[in-house]
Structure 1
Amino acid sequence: MSNAAIVWAVLALVLIGLETLAPGIFLLWFGFAAAGVFLLVLLGLPLSVVMQTLLFVIFSFVSVAVYFRYFRGKANETDHPLLNQKNQQMLGLVLILESAIVNGHGRVKVGDAFWQVHGPDAPLGSRVTVIAVDDGILKVGLAD
């Protein structure tokens, strides 16, 4: 194996490895480009250093284009887009007051947790709708 092949193999492994430390910076795709040049050099093609570098640049553009075309945004497609976004899940919920809203402050129970609410004064047991969530406090309006 030639020195050039070893250099490209090490570069490919380093770039792919660095992606684990800095995800999302395209280092994986540059690593694939370096691996492509490594394969060409390994096959014994007589490529000058300038040509190897030029091929690396071209392969980098192609691999990043493949990422943008086929992989970008695919992870965001889900049948549960609000998973782990409790604030967004709460919007529109109709809840029953566990303690009356007095001077704009009250409390509701959501699942097994109690949440503070801010909204118009209302008696115990009133139905309220969550209209916003601010720093863990539910902003509510009367549901009826």
Structure 2
Amino acid sequence: MADALALLAALGPAWSWVIAGLVLAGAEIVAPGVFLIWFGLAALATGLAAALIPMPWQGQTLLFAGLALVLVGLATRLHRRAGRHDAILNRADRGLIGREGVLAEPIVQGTGRIRFDDTLWRIEGPDLPAGGRVRVVGLSGTVLTVEAA
């Protein structure tokens, strides 16, 4: 342990940050979670800043903490935005909105059935005869809401 500390002291603070950044980025590869990479990038940026601008270790630590907060916050925001699209992944019913089809059964008293691909769906909408064309405009649970197309 003493040898490692002596080596880091000999390399200087900038290289210590760069090595820490590479170790954190490598840890992200070994144990993926899309979290350590941001700390690794913050450490790399701190190392580059420490190499260009002489600053005490307190300033380097504050810079690292600030960069880590900003990067993790940005990544969280981007992940949430992308998560909205992931919510419809593997949800065939969400892909039906806007789709048009032919009624398999008539819509009587507001309910009927329609076939999309290999599934027979319950639908709600205006009364229409079998064979009528409809467009899916909404979804409530497993029941599609349709209108005449």
User: What's the counterpart of residue 19 of structure 2?
Assistant: 9
Q: How many residues align?
A: 127
Q: Among residues 87, 101, 106, which one is paired with 1:95 in the alignment?
A: 101
TM-score normalised by the chain length of structure 2: 0.57
Structure number with the higher helix fraction is 2
Matched letter for residue 44 of structure 2 = A
User: What's the counterpart of residue 42 of structure 2?
Assistant: 33
User: What's the counterpart of residue 50 of structure 1?
Assistant: 58
Gapped regions of structure 2 (runs ≥ 5): 1-6, 83-87
Gapped regions of structure 1 (runs ≥ 5): 77-81
User: Which secondary structure does the structure 1 equivalent of 2:129 belong to?
Assistant: coil
Change (3 A) 1:119 1:46: closer
Q: Do 2:103 and 2:130's aligned partners in 1 also have CA atoms closer than 8 Å? A: yes
User: What's the counterpart of residue 20 of structure 1?
Assistant: 32
- In 2, Cα distance between equivalents of 1:109 and 1:6: 63
- In 1, Cα distance between equivalents of 2:58 and 2:113: 70
Q: Among residues 77, 98, 106, which one is paired with 2:112 in the alignment?
A: 106
User: Which secondary structure does the structure 1 equivalent of 2:40 belong to?
Assistant: helix
User: What's the counterpart of residue 130 of structure 1?
Assistant: 136
Question: For 1:94-124, what per-residue CA distance to the aligned partner results, in whole angstroms no more than 9, with x for missing partners?
Answer: 2111112223221111122221111122222
Aligned-residue identity in percent? 28
Q: Do 2:121 and 2:144's aligned partners in 1 also have CA atoms closer than 8 Å? A: yes
C-alpha RMSD of matched pairs (Å): 4.1
Q: Do 1:91 and 1:131's aligned partners in 2 also have CA atoms closer than 8 Å? A: yes
Q: Do 1:12 and 1:33's aligned partners in 2 also have CA atoms closer than 8 Å? A: no
Structure number with the higher strand fraction is 1
User: Which secondary structure does the structure 1 equivalent of 2:58 belong to?
Assistant: helix
